[in-house]
């Protein structure tokens, strides 16, 4: 998810009343909710799980277990430094190290749980496993989540300034509403996947029946109930991709694009993979890779992309091009 969403989730978590448990409580929730994205600064790292975005720092070991105490330690050191300089803390709260660590853990836990909701996916078991997990519950930027959390935070702070008891209830309601909204969307994506798996193919003599071996049900940016279902079909080792539009409110067959060959086993594509470390890194991330060939005399340009991000607005950011000899 985008970092505004992560920040709003951490902020709403703090406004439920948790920020009053310790000094720096709000900072612990908001920074903890964003902390795993520190991996964007380590793309150069020689250790693959750290260099991979949504890898080690988004996993249960790195992002959830190891990093929160580091953040808590930095916030505690900042607080000590401020206190030595005579800072006056307007909240009037004492510093409670135990609660500071707990809030950093709570904030950090929200990050992989949110990123799990979109088709980019996360490596929850990194570094033990490079497997990607996803539930396809949200588009990467969701205005409904922004609205619910933003309204909850605003009402909670307004009540707090007015000195009203139970000022955290609007944030609690917003947090609960967001969870219910995500669960609804996950259910729609599960229904979309079930629809695709239930598609019947008429057997053709000499040809294997295609099997859906990977499905991503991408939510639409604004029409959250609609899905662009990207399917990887495997028919006896021949891999193709297809986009199927799914709308639970519509009746009748869902529109589907033609099958497109993955073409990833072509000898020229294999030659390009062997010659380019950048392409190999891309394929380590890509879960639905496809290749296109453009022959130009005794050379060929191999373009490798990911079927999840093959739309005209995104394809430029999610492709790699390598030129290889073809003669």
For the chain, domain boundaries: 3-134, 207-261, 267-325
Q: Is residue 91 very low, low, confident or very high in pLDDT (cuts 50, 70, 90)?
A: confident
Report, as an integer, the average pLDDT of 65-73. Answer: 95
The DSSP output letter for 220 is P
| pLDDT given for residue 315 in this prediction | 57
Reported as a single tens digit per residue, the pLDDT across 134-172 is: 999 999 999 999 999 999 999 999 888 877 666 789 999
pLDDT exceeds 80 at position 311:
no
Q: How far is CA 232 from CA 5, 141, 225, 269, 281, in A?
A: 30, 25, 22, 19, 21
| pLDDT given for residue 249 in this prediction | 92
Instruction: Give CA 4 to chain center in angstroms.
Output: 14
Q: What residue ranges in 197-310 does DSSP mark as E strands?
A: 211-219, 227-235, 238-246, 260-261, 289-296, 299-306
Sign of torsion over alpha carbons 278, 279, 282, 284: negative
- Strand, coil or helix: 50: helix
> What whole-number distance in Å separates Cα of residue 44 and Cα of residue 67?
20
pLDDT exceeds 90 at position 179:
yes
| pLDDT given for residue 316 in this prediction | 61
| pLDDT given for residue 107 in this prediction | 96
Instruction: Report percent pLDDT > 70 for the chain.
Output: 96
Q: Assess contact for 235 and 211: CB atoms under 8 A.
A: yes
Q: Assess contact for 234 and 265: CB atoms under 8 A.
A: no
Reported as a single tens digit per residue, the pLDDT across 5-17 is: 999 999 999 999 9
Query: CA nearest 89: which of 105, 75, 99?
Result: 75
Cα dihedral 289/290/294/298 (nearest 10): 60
| pLDDT given for residue 274 in this prediction | 92
| pLDDT given for residue 210 in this prediction | 86
């Amino acid at each position: 998810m985008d970092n505004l969403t992560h920040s709003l989730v951490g902020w709403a978590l703090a406004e439920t009343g948790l920020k009053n448990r310790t000094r720096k409580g709000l900072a612990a929730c908001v920074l903890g909710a964003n902390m795993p994205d520190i991996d964007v600064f380590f793309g150069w790292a020689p250790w693959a799980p750290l260099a991979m975005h949504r890898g080690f720092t988004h996993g249960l070991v790195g992002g959830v277990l190891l990093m929160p105490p580091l953040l808590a330690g930095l916030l505690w050191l900042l607080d000590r430094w401020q206190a030595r300089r005579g800072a006056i803390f307007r909240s009037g709260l004492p510093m409670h190290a135990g609660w500071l660590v707990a809030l950093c853990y709570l904030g950090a836990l929200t990050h992989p749980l949110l990123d799990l909701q979109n088709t980019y996916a996360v490596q929850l078991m990194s570094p033990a496993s490079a497997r990607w997990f996803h539930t396809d519950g949200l588009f990467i930027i969701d205005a409904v989540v922004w609205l619910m959390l933003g309204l909850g935070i605003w009402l909670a702070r307004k009540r707090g300034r007015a000195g009203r008891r139970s000022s955290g209830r609007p944030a609690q309601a917003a947090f609960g509403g967001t969870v219910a909204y995500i669960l609804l969307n996950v259910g729609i994506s599960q229904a979309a996947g079930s629809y695709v798996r239930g598609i019947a193919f008429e057997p053709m003599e000499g040809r294997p029946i295609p099997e859906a071996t990977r499905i991503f049900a991408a939510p639409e940016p604004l029409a959250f109930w609609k899905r662009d279902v990207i399917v990887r079909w495997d028919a006896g080792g021949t891999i193709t991709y297809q986009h199927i539009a799914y709308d639970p409110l519509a009746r009748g067959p869902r529109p589907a694009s033609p099958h497109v060959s993955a073409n990833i086993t072509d000898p020229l594509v294999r030659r390009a993979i062997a010659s380019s470390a950048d392409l190999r890194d891309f394929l380590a991330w890509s879960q639905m890779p496809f290749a296109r060939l453009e022959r130009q005399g005794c050379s060929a340009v191999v373009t490798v992309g990911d079927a999840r991000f093959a739309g005209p607005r995104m394809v430029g950011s999610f492709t790699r091009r390598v030129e290889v000899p073809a003669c």
